[in-house]
Structure 1
Amino acid sequence: MASIPASFLLLFVSISATAYTIFSATVIEDLANLKPPPNFNATITNNCLHNPSLRYCNSPAMDLHEIFRFTIVASHLCNESKNPNCVETFSEIDLRNRPKIVPLYLSFSFFWKYCPLSIVSIDLSNNSIKGSFPADVLLCTQIQALDLSRNEFSGDVPIQSFSPLSNLTLLNLSFNHFSESKLSDSEFFKRFNSSSFIHSGLLPSRKRFRLNAVILLLCFPIFIVLIVGGFWWCCLQRPDFLPRMCRRHRFTPYMLKAATDEFSKKNLVGKSDGIAIYRGILRDGFKVRIEIYWKNISGENRRKFAEECKVIVQLCHKNLLRVYGWCNDRKLRAIVAEWTEEESNVEIWISGSAPPWKRRLKVLKGVAEGMLYLEEQWPDIGYDLRTSTVLLSNNQEPLISRFKVGDRSNITKRICLFGLFLLEIMTNTKPLEGFEERFVEFIRAHYTGNLQAVIDERMKMTENTFDQAKQTIEIGLMCTEQTRSHQQPSLYEIVNIMTRMLAPQNHKRSSHCEGGRAHRAII
C-alpha cells in the first residue's frame, strides 16, 4: 500500500502531542517508561482486521508495549526523514548527514522488526557510523534502495541476509571498512556493479593487489635465495643438519669446531708435532675421536688423502677402529673415528692393569682376526701394528688403527710384526727401536729351559695356562722367524690355534660385519 498504514492514521491524532513531548525529552528513557493507552489493544486488533499484511499482525505473540513504541518512533522518524505527509505516506527513511540521531534509530530494533511496508528507500549515508553492519535494516525486505555509504562500518557483511530483498535495485556500500568477502559467489550481488562497493573493503583493492604483487615479486626471489643459500650452507659447512643419507662421511671445519667446543683445551686428549687428538660430541650426541693434522700440504696430497679416507671408511670389523669420516679443508685435515677412552691402548693396558692370561689371549686373537679380515678383504691396506697403536674399545676389544692405503708390504712382514706384538704382550717388555732382533733372541734363548724368566710374572699361571702361554710364545717366535728354512704360520692358523685355547668360553668367529660391534651409522 502506498499510504501510511492504518495504525498511524488511527493513532497519530491521539499520540502526536505525547510523541512531541517524548522526543523533546530523553527519548530512550521516555519510551521505556511510556505505556500504551487503555484502548490500544482494540486499536491494534482493528488495524489487523483492516490490513492483515501489517508486520505486527503476523507476529506469533504480539507485544503491545513494543508495538506502541514502534508506532511512536515511526511517526517521529517519518517527520525526521521529511516525508511530505506522514499521516498518509511514509515512503523513505532519509537520514543523510545526521550523525547524532542515526545511531539512536539504529538501536530501536523493535522499529526495524515491524518496519512499515510503505518504506521503499533507506538512506543512512555520510554519518561516519562505527560498528558492524546494521543487520536490522535488512528486516525491511520490501525496500528498493539502500545507501550505507561514507560511514565507518567494519566486519563482515551478512551476505545471506540480503537474499529476501528481491526488490532491491540500488545498493551503495562504498567508503566503509568491511572485511573482504567473495561477493562474486553470490547470485544476489551479481545484479550490482563495482560502483556499489567502491572503497568498501569488500572488493580486492587494486593498490593492495599491486602492493601484494610487488611484495610477492620481491619476497619470493629473496625467499628462494635464502632457501638455496641455507641449503648450500648446510651442504658445504654443516651437513650434519641434513638427513644422514646426504652426509656421505664428510666433515667440515664448522662441524669439528662445534663438536670440540671451538677446539677447547678441555677436549684436547693428545698432541704431537702437527697432530692433535680431540674428544668430540657430534650434533646427535655421539662421542667421537677427532685426529687433526694442522700441517699444510699440496693440493695433490690433499686429493690423495681424501681418496684414502674414502677407502678407510668402508672397513667394517669388530677389531678395526671404525672411521666415520674425514675433513679435507685447505688449512685443516682430520679423521673422525669412534671414541675410545683416554690411555686405552694395549701398551698402557698391559703395563698398568696386569691383565690375566685369558684376557691377553683374547686380545691377541682379536688382533689376528682383524689382520685376517684385512688380508682377505683389503690386502692393499696396511697398518701400524704396535702395542701403542692398538686401542681398546669400551668392552676391551682390540682395535687396529693407523691405516695406510696402498701399503703393499707382504704378509710375511705383517706376520712378523704380529709376532713382536705377541711377545710384548706376553713379557710386558717393549724393545727399543732397532733392537727388536735382540729382544726376540733373548726370548728364544730362554724358551726351552727358563721360560718363566721372560713371561710377565704378574700373570698367575696354572700348569694348563702355562702350557698355553708356552705354545703362544712359540707362535710368536715362529712369526718372527723369516729365514727360508722356517715357514711362518698363516693368520688363519694362528686364529684357529687361539680359538681352540679359548674353546670353553669362545663363540664362533663372526664374518665380515657380523657379530662385531654394532657400529652406529652417524655419517
Structure 2
Amino acid sequence: MEVILGALAFASWLSFGMSNQQGEALYALKLSLNASPNQLSNWNPSQVDPCTWYNVICDSNSNVVSVTLSSLGFSGYLSPRIGTLNTLITLSLQGNGITGEIPHEIGNLTSLTSLDLENNHLSGKIPSSIGDLKNLKYLILSGNNLTGTIPDSFSGLTNLISLQLASNELSGQISEQLFEIPKYNFIGNKLNCDGNYSHACVSDSTGAGSSNKKKLGLTTGIVGGLVGVLVIGVLLFFFCKARYRGDNREVFVDVAGEVDRKIEFGQLKRFAYRELQLATDNFSEKNVLGQGGFGKVYKGLLGDNTKIAVKRLTDCESPGGDAAFQREVEMISVALHRNILRLIGFCTTPTERLLVYPFMQNLSVAYRLRELKPGEPVLDWAMRKKVALGTARGLEYLHEHCNPKIIHRDVKAANVLLDEDFEAVVGDFGLAKLVDVRKTNVTTQVRGTMGHIAPEYLSTGKSSERTDVFGYGIMLLELVTGQRAIDFSRLEEEDDVLLLDHVKKLERDKRLDTILDRNLNNNYDIQEVEMMIQVALLCTQATPEDRPTMSEVVRMLEGEGLAERWEEWQHIEVTRRQEYERLQRRFDWGEDSAYNQVAIELSGGR
C-alpha cells in the first residue's frame, strides 16, 4: 500500500509539471527500494530540490554528485531511472538487501568515479554498459548473487583502481588486462584463474587486505592508556618550561608514522606560483589568517576578485615528488559535502607546495572562541550546537562515505571554519599525507596538536577513524569551555594541564558549571551542555574500540542512544579507574622517576 500511495504521489508531482529530472530520478529510486515512511523522509514531492535531501550531495551548480544509502535495510530493486543522474560521481548502496538486476541504464552515469553495491542480493549478469563509465575508479560488487562472465568491456576501464567482485557466482575466463588493476579480488566465484594468474583469485594484487579487529579487553585498554599517558607526559616534559611562561600557543609535534598508499583521483586547477604570489601580496604577514602544524594560511584575492585562502605547506618535499603530491591533493578534492572545505586548486614548485581554498569570512571556531576583537559577536549556545553537529557530519562523511575513507589526523577548533551562515566547515583534512620531513617513501609523519592527539596515535604512530573521534571529543570540550586543550597556567593551582583531565575531574565532582565559557553569559541549556560533555567523554576514551563512530556521534547529538551509552560508560570508568590505580602500584615507580612526575601527575588517569 505504501508503494502504491508513493507512486500516486509521484504521478501527482509529475502532473503539476515539476520537471526536476534529478528529483524525479531520486524519488523513483526511493520507491523502488521500498523505503519505509521513516527512511528518506524528506525525499518527498513537496520538497522539489534534491540538494536538501538526506544523503544527497550537490555541487555548486546544484547538480547531484553523491548519493550514499549504505546499510539502511532496503529490500527493493534499483530503478532504471537512476541512469538520468549523469552528474553523479559517487553512488554507494552497500549493505542493504537490494534484489533484482543491475539496470543497464547505469552505464549512462558517465561522471561516476565510485560505484559500491557490495553486500546486497543482486542477481543476473553484470551489465556490459558499466564498461562505458570511463571515469570509474572504484567498482565494488562483492557479496551478491551475480552470474555470467565478467564483461569484456571492463578492459576499457583504464582509470580503474579497485575492482572487487568477490563472493558472487561469476564464471568464465578473466581478461589478463584486469590483473593490471592496482587492486582486485575475484575470490569466491567459479572463474577460470589458470595460468600465470592462478594465485590472484585469492587475494588482491597489493596484498593490502582488511581485517576486523576484535574489541580489546578492559586491561588492554588500561595498559594502552598508560602508554599513551607516558608518551604525552614525556612530550609535555619537553614543552612545559617553554610554554609555561605565559605563552598559550598550541604545541605541534611530529612522531614517526605509518606507511600510506597513494591514491589517484580527479582533476584540479593548477595555479601558477606568480598568480598566488600576487593574490597574497607576496605572502605578506599582514595577510596571515592563521598558522598550524602544516604551515601558514594567507588571505588572497585573485584577478577576478575571488577571495581565497592559500595554505603554504611546510616540510614540502613530499615523498615521490610533485606527481605524488598532486595525486594526494586530487584525492582530497573529491570530498564534496556542505560541512567539508572544498579544495579549489594547488601549486607546486621545486621549493613550494600550496593549496587554494575558498575564503571563509567568519574564520575558525578557535578564533570565535578565543581571539575575538572588541565588538565582534561571540558564538552563542545555539551556534555552538550547530558547529558540533555540522563538524560531526563532515567527519562522518570523510570516514564513511569517501572511498577510500579520509582520516583527518588533526581535528580541533582551529581546523573547523565558519562560512557566511556560521555553518561548520571542516578544513585541513588529509594534509598529514602531503608532507614528510623525513623525505622517504616509506613513512609519513604523525601530525597533530598536543592535547588533541589520541594516545594510541602517539604511542604507535597508527591513525584510524577513532583517532579523529578523539580529536573531535576534545573539540567539543573547546566549544563548551572556550579553553585550549592544554593550558599550562593551571599548573599554578592544580596538576591538570590537559583540558580533558580537568573536565573529567569536574564531571566526577559535579562542578561542570565552573568551567563553562564565560562568553556564554549564562545563556545556555545546562542539560544540553551536559549532553555535549557526555558525548565528548565517550569520544575520548583511552581504548579506540570503545569510542563511537562519527555516525553514532551524529545520532547521539540528535538525541538517539546517548543515555544508554553514557550509563554504560560510567560503570566502565569506575572499574577502569580502580584497575588503573592497581596497575600504578604494580609498576612501583619511584618518586624521582621522570615518568612518575610528568606522565602521572600531569596527565592523570585516562
TM-score past 0.5 threshold? no
TM-score by length of 2: 0.38
Q: Which has the higher helix share?
A: 1
> Highest Rg: 1 or 2?
1
Higher relative contact order (CA 8 A, sep 6+): 2
**TM-score, with normalisation over the residues of structure 1?**
0.43
